[in-house]
Amino acid sequence: MPRQNEFPLLMELGAPGRRAYLLPQLDVPARPIDELIPSPYLRSEPAPLPELSELEVVRHYTGLSRRNHGVDVGFYPLGSCTMKYNPKVNEDLAFLPGFASLHPYQPEETVQGALQLMYELEQYLCEIAGLQRATLTPAAGAHGELTGLMLIKAYQEDRGEGHRDEIIIPDSAHGTNPASAAMCGYKVVEVKSNDRGGVCVDALREVVGPQTAGLMLTNPNTLGLFEEDILTISELVHDAGGLLYYDGANANAIMGKCRPGDMGFDVVHFNLHKTFSTPHGGGGPGSGPIVVRESLIPFLPVPVVERREEAAQAGASLEEIPSQFFLDFDRPKSIGKVKGFYGNFLVLVRAYAYIRSMGPEGLRLASEDAVLSANYLMRGLSPFFDLPYDRTCKHEFVISARQQKAEGVTAQDIAKRLLDYGVHAPTVYFPLIVEEALMIEPTETESKAALDAFLEVMFRIAEEAKESPQGLTTAPHHTVVGRLDETQAARHPVVRWQQGTEEGTPNDHR
């Protein structure tokens, strides 16, 4: 198959005078443009924009969409990212005008449905986490982490323990964990993993103490392994006066099965855009709600959605609360605002739709299927790839391309070759503690046939690594672009077309 890069840019299409629209006849007197817009703001020359027919516009954007891989196109086993299929009914609901056309400055009594949705979503997340209250405002997982750590800080300061300046984080942690802790002003103390891929409890004993503000943990961790010593770990940290932070970005193995609150965690963030089925990727809007234990409620960011009856029970006067649901800004110990308004509201609508349509049984089944799929792939791959931790995995697992490296083929080459077969690459070189790591997360939404097709492709690639490694080291061969200079693409992205330059052409970063 040839590369499909002979693709004209929008700017190169069309012809002067071509149009994709028809405007109605003018029914008011025409006025010259410089009477309407002051001349300093007018261009001397018309902007060099393409003039196109509707069909050209449609073909352009359809063509662009086909250059991209998405879960609606094919298998997307990007570990730690939970690229599950997002049911389209969630989109329908998020597009209802009563949600999509709301304005954040509308009076409370006109947005009761939206507030009720937020109130109920908070309750569902509390139930799933096994904790008491939540804030829906953080815009992403990392933002949730920062918010959660700010809550821990506020809590420690409030009880006169503000000198605690260390957060303990295992060496298998997601990179955002130490970054968030550092951003919150904490010293990051790393704790080693043991040979079963869990936290080494002896190593933890050595670093936990009166300087510990808390511990951040993902369970199952980024290796997809359940932390077997979690109760000992939480006791150790609590006894030393620290709190436990749960990175629940990928809750796909635990929904309805076990609860972070029961494991001893005090603060949890969820990624609605992963576990709770909201489209993500490309930096689109996300949502990283924080769920907390009783002791942290006073510090939650403002506003908190409250219900009239409960507020009245807590001593508020009913006359002051005209509506059933209201936004409470009057929280003296709150850490304040962490985002404009109330979070990415339409992401909340999608997560609400997902949770309501799945129900408790559906969520539990999703976790079970996600874990089953991951174990099925892990076992299927183990004859031809190294398995660094040979344990039952949860929603994801990590294999190593160590054997293939001996043939001169790296995890990166395998990831690139998968693109030729229409499969998105797994997460590679993460977690850092596994050499040539490939982190695979199939999710519950793939059929057995899709999993088998992936095994077949991986088997072929393992054969290619032995027989024709050079084909792998130059892959991908069939995609629109080949190997990108990823560093340049990230540091100096060219996202704007400029007339008369090569900038913005699709092959820039090859």
Ligand X SMILES: *Cc1c(COP(=O)(O)O)cnc(C)c1O
**In angstroms, rounded to a whole number, what is the distance separating the alpha carbons of residues 270 and 129?**
9
Nearest-approach distance from CB 124 to ligand X, in angstroms: 19
Nearest-approach distance from CB 172 to ligand X, in angstroms: 10
Please pick, from the candidates 271, 373, 410, 445, the single residue that binds ligand X as defined by CB under 6 A.
271
**In angstroms, rounded to a whole number, what is the distance separating the alpha carbons of residues 216 and 239?**
16
Asked if residue 178 binds ligand X (CB under 6 A), the reply is no
Burial of 102 (0-12, 13-18, 19+ CB in 10 A): middle
Asked if residue 149 binds ligand X (CB under 6 A), the reply is no
Residue 244 in contact with residue 227, Cβ under 8 Å? no
Nearest residue (CB) to ligand X, 344 versus 404:
344
Q: Which two tokens stand for residue 217?
A: 């943990």
Helix H or strand E encompassing 450: helix 448-467
**In angstroms, rounded to a whole number, what is the distance separating the alpha carbons of residues 134 and 269?**
9
Nearest-approach distance from CB 162 to ligand X, in angstroms: 26
Nearest residue (CB) to ligand X, 98 versus 175:
175
Asked if residue 250 binds ligand X (CB under 6 A), the reply is yes
- 3-state SS class at 182: helix
**In angstroms, rounded to a whole number, what is the distance separating the alpha carbons of residues 268 and 478?**
42
Asked if residue 176 binds ligand X (CB under 6 A), the reply is yes
Q: How many residues does the chain have?
A: 510
Asked if residue 286 binds ligand X (CB under 6 A), the reply is yes
**In angstroms, rounded to a whole number, what is the distance separating the alpha carbons of residues 106 and 353?**
23
Nearest residue (CB) to ligand X, 115 versus 223:
223
504: left (phi over 0), alpha (psi -120 to 50) or beta: left
Please pick, from the candidates 69, 164, 174, 424, the single residue that binds ligand X as defined by CB under 6 A.
174
- Binding segment for ligand X (CB under 6 A), chosen from 106-114, 245-253, 292-300, 370-378, is 245-253
Q: What is the CA radius of gyration of the chain?
A: 26
Nearest-approach distance from CB 180 to ligand X, in angstroms: 9
Nearest residue (CB) to ligand X, 63 versus 281:
281
φ/ψ of residue 18, rounded to 5:
-75, 145
Nearest residue (CB) to ligand X, 278 versus 404:
278
Residue 174 half-sphere exposure toward CB, CA atoms < 13 A: 24
Please pick, from the candidates 83, 140, 213, 225, the single residue that binds ligand X as defined by CB under 6 A.
140
Residues of this chain, 66-85, that bind ligand X according to CB under 6 A: 80
Please pick, from the candidates 169, 249, 297, 465, the single residue that binds ligand X as defined by CB under 6 A.
249
Asked if residue 193 binds ligand X (CB under 6 A), the reply is no
User: Could you give the residue ranges of the DSSP H alpha helices within 167-259?
Assistant: 176-183, 201-207, 230-239
Nearest-approach distance from CB 426 to ligand X, in angstroms: 13
Nearest residue (CB) to ligand X, 14 versus 148:
148
User: What letter does residue 25 receive in the DSSP assignment?
Assistant: P
Asked if residue 252 binds ligand X (CB under 6 A), the reply is no
Nearest-approach distance from CB 167 to ligand X, in angstroms: 14
Asked if residue 224 binds ligand X (CB under 6 A), the reply is no
Nearest residue (CB) to ligand X, 224 versus 476:
224
Burial of 171 (0-12, 13-18, 19+ CB in 10 A): middle
Asked if residue 288 binds ligand X (CB under 6 A), the reply is yes
How many other CB atoms are found less than 10 A from the CB of residue 346?
Answer: 19
By Cβ distance, which residue is nearest to ligand X? 141
Asked if residue 277 binds ligand X (CB under 6 A), the reply is no
Non-local CB neighbours of 497 within 8 Å, separated by 6+ positions: 9, 10, 11, 503, 504
Nearest to residue 458, comparing CAs of 385, 392, 375?
A: 385
Please pick, from the candidates 156, 218, 344, 400, the single residue that binds ligand X as defined by CB under 6 A.
218
Nearest residue (CB) to ligand X, 222 versus 344:
222
Non-local CB neighbours of 59 within 8 Å, separated by 6+ positions: none
Residue 250 in contact with residue 271, Cβ under 8 Å? yes
- Which residue type, as a one-letter code, is found at position 201? V
Nearest residue (CB) to ligand X, 174 versus 350:
174
Nearest-approach distance from CB 82 to ligand X, in angstroms: 7
Asked if residue 142 binds ligand X (CB under 6 A), the reply is yes
- Binding segment for ligand X (CB under 6 A), chosen from 94-102, 160-168, 189-197, 247-255, is 247-255
Asked if residue 247 binds ligand X (CB under 6 A), the reply is yes
Asked if residue 260 binds ligand X (CB under 6 A), the reply is no
**Which whole-number Å values give the CA distances from 141 to 216, 248, 287, in the listed order?**
13, 9, 7
Chain contacts with ligand X (rule: CB under 6 A): 80, 140-142, 174, 176, 218, 222, 247, 249-250, 271, 286, 288
